[in-house]
């Protein structure tokens, strides 16, 4: 397999946007292309990640639409829809195009504009990824699957609501250091859990999960420029290697999982990604996890191999996953505070890691970060893409 490098990364601020869908995608793409400083090297391919545009924005064929906006013809182009894992899936498709020799430069852009619809419609569009006959039909939504999963883990490992709150507090703090984050406001244990008014500030969403355990609904776009080794050599920029990608699937319905407390697809995808990279979880300096719900950051940190099962919340409590900890998790603010424009999320993970590995993450920079890991969690864990990036010496 030919090596693939990330030459540039850019994004829009996440939040509520008045821009049309394709403008969001264009702005992030132009930032990434500028960051890559390609000069007159042409873009051979464009891959757009998106989940809901056909339904909520009434627009399809986003690859063609983005090529046209950026005047990148005759580049090959397509869109990838893989639920909440669309972003890292599109990234994988872009890497495959380069590693196979079909392309030298590929632009991968994830985008979602989901705040145009009301809450019920937005929740329903995401819920449409669940099993239609045995889950969706009963009113299952993503928060409900997360709520039922949380109760299982709390009972099994002694996780308490305070641990879930610690994820939110950490990620909200990190987001105050990230100008691209949707919510740039700190929260406190008193405000969301222990004070008498906490129940008003932080109402239940899917018991035992409350509002501050759930990511906000965001619009936004994120973009990376992938290049082959020959192009990477011509560019002056730091070399961020796509060291490993792993993907794994599991049963569509959560009820069918052999062990419903095990994020098996995260485990298998991560093992594949680390295997391909020739690296171990202990080599990772910075990680971006898919904390659509606070419990997922804890559970994924174990399934990815950073902590033994049932120990993730203890590492969190010891501060090991904070910005100044042994393994900073979600320095960007995570989905929890940076926001979760569904199709953009998996690409935004890799944007943050690329910036971290290039030393460009400013107020949230992890010192000497050389290896980064990302987990893009699709479905409720039935389709997961794990990625390992590595900064190469000049």
Partner 1 sequence: MSTQVHAPVTAAKCAKCGTVNYPKRPVCKTCRGEVFEEIAVSGEGKVLTYTDVYALAIDYETRYLRLAIVELDDGLRVTGQLLDEMPKVGKRVKTTIGIVREPGDKPILGLQFVPI
**213 DSSP assignment:** G
Residue with token string 């603010």: 333
Residue among 267, 249, 287 nearest 389 (CA)? 287
Q: Interface with partner 1 includes 141 (CB under 8 A)? A: yes
Q: Interface with partner 1 includes 199 (CB under 8 A)? A: no
Torsion of CA 330, 336, 342, 345, to 10 degrees: -10
Q: Label residues 28-45 b or e (16+ Cβ within 10 Å = b).
A: bbebbbebbebeebebbb
Over the window 156 to 185, marking each residue x when it contacts partner 1 by CB under 8 A and - when it does not, the resulting string is ------------------------------
Contact (CB, 8 A) for 286 and 356: yes
Q: Where are the alpha helices (DSSP H) in the chain?
A: 21-36, 62-70, 86-99, 119-127, 142-157, 161-175, 189, 198-201, 229-234, 264-277, 294-303, 312-317, 334-338, 342-358
Count of alpha carbons within 13 Å of 372, Cβ hemisphere only?
30
Q: How far is the CB of 148 from partner 1 (least distance, A)?
A: 4
- Total interface residues for partner 1 by CB under 8 A: 40
Q: How far is the CB of 257 from partner 1 (least distance, A)?
A: 9
Residue 249, Cβ density class (10 Å: 0-12 exposed, 13-18 middle, ≥19 buried): middle
Q: Interface with partner 1 includes 310 (CB under 8 A)? A: no
Q: Interface with partner 1 includes 277 (CB under 8 A)? A: no
β-pair type (219-228, 4-11): antiparallel
Helices (H) and strands (E) in the chain, counts: 14, 11
Q: Interface with partner 1 includes 45 (CB under 8 A)? A: no
Residue among 341, 393, 349 nearest 370 (CA)? 393
Q: How far is the CB of 125 from partner 1 (least distance, A)?
A: 9
Q: Interface with partner 1 includes 140 (CB under 8 A)? A: yes
Contact segment (CB under 8 A) with partner 1 among 98-106, 122-130, 186-194, 361-369 equals: 122-130
Q: Interface with partner 1 includes 155 (CB under 8 A)? A: yes
Which of residues 3, 191, 260, 359 is near partner 1 by CB under 8 A? 260
Which of residues 151, 162, 309, 314 is near partner 1 by CB under 8 A? 151
Q: How far is the CB of 139 from partner 1 (least distance, A)?
A: 5
Question: In the complex with partner 1, which residue's Cβ is closer, 137 or 199?
Answer: 137
Which of residues 65, 253, 289, 366 is near partner 1 by CB under 8 A? 253
Q: How far is the CB of 133 from partner 1 (least distance, A)?
A: 5
Site for partner 1 in 200-219 (CB under 8 A): 203-209, 214
- Which residues fall within 8 angstroms of residue 213, CB to CB, at 6 or more apart? 146, 150, 164, 165, 167, 168, 205, 293, 294, 295
Question: In the complex with partner 1, which residue's Cβ is closer, 143 or 220?
Answer: 143
Q: Write the CA distances from 98 to 25, 103, 151, 257, integer angstroms.
A: 22, 5, 43, 35
- Residue 321: both structure tokens together: 């996953």
Which of residues 124, 160, 229, 283 is near partner 1 by CB under 8 A? 124
Q: Interface with partner 1 includes 131 (CB under 8 A)? A: yes
Q: Interface with partner 1 includes 251 (CB under 8 A)? A: yes
Which of residues 18, 68, 256, 317 is near partner 1 by CB under 8 A? 256
Q: Interface with partner 1 includes 120 (CB under 8 A)? A: yes
Q: How far is the CB of 146 from partner 1 (least distance, A)?
A: 8
Which of residues 61, 102, 137, 199 is near partner 1 by CB under 8 A? 137
Q: Interface with partner 1 includes 121 (CB under 8 A)? A: yes
Contact segment (CB under 8 A) with partner 1 among 133-141, 174-182, 192-200, 327-335 equals: 133-141
Using CB under 8 A, list all residues that contact partner 1.
119-121, 123-124, 127, 131, 133-144, 147-149, 151-152, 155, 203-209, 214, 251-256, 260
């Amino acid at each position: 397999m030919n090596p693939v490098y990330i030459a540039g990364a850019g994004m829009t601020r996440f939040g509520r946007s008045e821009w049309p869908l394709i403008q969001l995608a264009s702005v992030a793409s132009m930032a990434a292309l500028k960051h890559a400083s390609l000069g007159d090297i042409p873009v051979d391919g464009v891959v757009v990640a998106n989940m809901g545009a056909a339904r909520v924005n009434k627009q399809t064929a986003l690859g063609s639409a983005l090529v046209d906006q950026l005047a990148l013809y005759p580049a090959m182009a397509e869109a990838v829809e893989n639920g909440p894992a669309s972003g890292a899936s599109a990234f994988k498709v872009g890497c495959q195009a380069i590693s196979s020799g079909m392309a030298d430069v590929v632009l991968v852009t994830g985008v979602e504009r989901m705040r145009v619809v009301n809450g019920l419609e937005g929740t329903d569009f995401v819920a449409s990824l669940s099993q239609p006959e045995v889950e969706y039909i009963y009113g299952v939504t993503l928060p409900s699957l997360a709520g039922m999963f949380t109760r299982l883990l709390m009972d099994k490992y002694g996780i308490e609501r305070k641990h879930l709150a610690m994820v939110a507090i950490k990620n909200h703090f990190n987001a105050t250091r990230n100008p691209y984050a949707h919510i740039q406001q700190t929260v406190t244990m008193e405000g969301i859990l222990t004070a008498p008014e906490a129940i008003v500030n932080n109402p239940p969403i899917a018991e035992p999960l409350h509002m501050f355990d759930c990511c906000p609904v965001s619009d936004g776009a994120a973009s990376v420029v992938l290049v082959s080794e020959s192009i990477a050599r011509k560019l002056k920029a730091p070399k961020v290697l796509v060291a490993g990608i792993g993907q794994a699937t599991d049963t569509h319905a959560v009820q069918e999982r052999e062990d419903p407390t095990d994020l098996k697809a995260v485990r298998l995808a991560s093992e594949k990604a680390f295997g391909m990279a020739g690296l171990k979880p202990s080599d990772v300096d910075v990680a971006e996890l898919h904390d659509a719900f606070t419990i997922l950051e804890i559970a994924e940190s174990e399934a990815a191999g950073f902590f033994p099962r049932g120990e993730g919340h203890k590492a969190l409590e010891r501060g090991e996953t904070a910005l100044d900890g042994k393994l900073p998790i979600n320095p960007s603010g995570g989905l929890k505070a940076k926001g979760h424009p569904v199709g953009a999320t998996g690409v935004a993970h890799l944007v943050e890691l690329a910036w971290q590995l290039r030393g460009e993450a400013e107020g949230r920079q992890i010192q000497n970060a050389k290896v980064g890991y990302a987990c893009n969690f699709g479905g409720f864990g039935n389709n997961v893409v794990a990625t390992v990036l590595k900064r190469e010496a000049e």
